[in-house]
Amino acid sequence: MIENILRGVRIRTPEYTQEHRAEDDLRLRQRIAQVNERRNRADQFRAHGWLVPSSPELTCLQLAPASPAGRAVKTRIERDLADLCRMVITAPGCKERLIEFVDAARPTDQVGARVFGCMLLLGGHEDGARFWWGFAAGVGDGTAAYALFLNGLLRDDPDAATRCYLDWRGKDFTPEKDWEPVRPGRVETALERQIDRHVREVTAGPKTQHVPIPEGYLQDVTQEQRDELLCGC
């Protein structure tokens, strides 16, 4: 009986007009152009000297970290990570994404998590920054993965740094705003004051690290779920 009913059903297929085809062709060309632009930006990214796992400078860091050359590379990585964070928090729209993120009952926005991590790093909360970068990188944020790559190098863990870069799409990172480092200023201080009232610290991980968390984030989860969320810190 059901088969007979189904045989009698007429499936209405929407008409695919020349106008529809032209619109689809335009969208396809736009997507191809975006991919090509990103590839060009990635080439520019490498040309401007941002470090990657194959950079010769990292060989010196691994073989002779205590040498003057090794210390110079470490200083450069610290500067690169700080510059990256300042570029992230001054990119168009990031302030609004950050405020929405910390004010949400259950933040899930990867861009907000990335910006929050950068704010924490600039404010001296390295553990918290690493936690939220991991949150963002885990759902495909290449910028957060690249931040973890640099942070891993600073923590003398090149294997973990390289895994972050390769497995979490750190290679897709390109600076979001411009190619010139953003100098320290009042931006992060003003933003920090705005988000402070939305954030509290919780204890997490086997090393009892203190991780800043948006205050509404853990309100409606059980202790077991909270422990699972924070176990990676």
More confident residue, 152 or 48: 152
Contact status, residue 130 vs residue 151, Cβ threshold 8 Å:
yes
Q: Round to whole Å and give the CA distance between 36 and 221.
A: 43
Q: Round to whole Å and give the CA distance between 127 and 233.
A: 7
pLDDT higher than 80, residue 29: yes
Average pLDDT on 152-179 reads 80
Strands 209-214, 199-204: parallel, antiparallel or unpaired by DSSP? antiparallel
Q: Euclidean distance between the first and final Cα of the chain, in Å?
A: 59
How many angstroms from the chain centroid is the CA of residue 52?
Answer: 16
Q: Round to whole Å and give the CA distance between 187 and 175.
A: 18
Per DSSP, the chain holds a count of helices (H) and strands (E) of 11, 2
Span 144-154, pLDDT tens digits: 999 999 999 99
Span 186-216, pLDDT tens digits: 445 554 554 444 444 444 444 445 555 555 5
Average pLDDT on 15-41 reads 78
What is the predicted pLDDT for the residue at 153?
94
More confident residue, 169 or 43: 169
What's the chain look like in SS3? Answer: CHHHHHHHCCCCCCCCCHHHHHHHHHHHHHHHHHHHHHHHHHHHHHHCCCCCCCCHHHHHHHHCCCCHHHHHHHHHHHHHHHHHHHHHHCCCCHHHHHHHHHHCCCCCCHHHHHHHHHHHHHCCCHHHHHHHHHHHHCCCCHHHHHHHHHHHHHCCCHHHHHHHHHHCCHHHCCCCCCCCCCCCCCHHHHHHHHHHCCEEEEEECCCCEEEEEECCCCCCCCHHHHHHHHCCC
What is the predicted pLDDT for the residue at 186?
46
More confident residue, 13 or 219: 13
What is the predicted pLDDT for the residue at 185?
46
Q: Round to whole Å and give the CA distance between 62 and 212.
A: 32
Q: What is the mean pLDDT of the chain?
A: 73
Burial class (CB in 10 A: 0-12, 13-18, 19+), 60: middle
Helix (H) or strand (E) holding 89: helix 68-89
What is the predicted pLDDT for the residue at 100?
79
Q: Kindly report which listed range (13-17, 36-40, 48-52, 219-223) carries the lowest average pLDDT score.
A: 219-223
The pair phi, psi for residue 208, each rounded to 5°, is 45, 55
Span 106-149, pLDDT tens digits: 667 888 889 889 888 888 888 889 988 998 998 889 899 999 99
Burial class (CB in 10 A: 0-12, 13-18, 19+), 98: buried
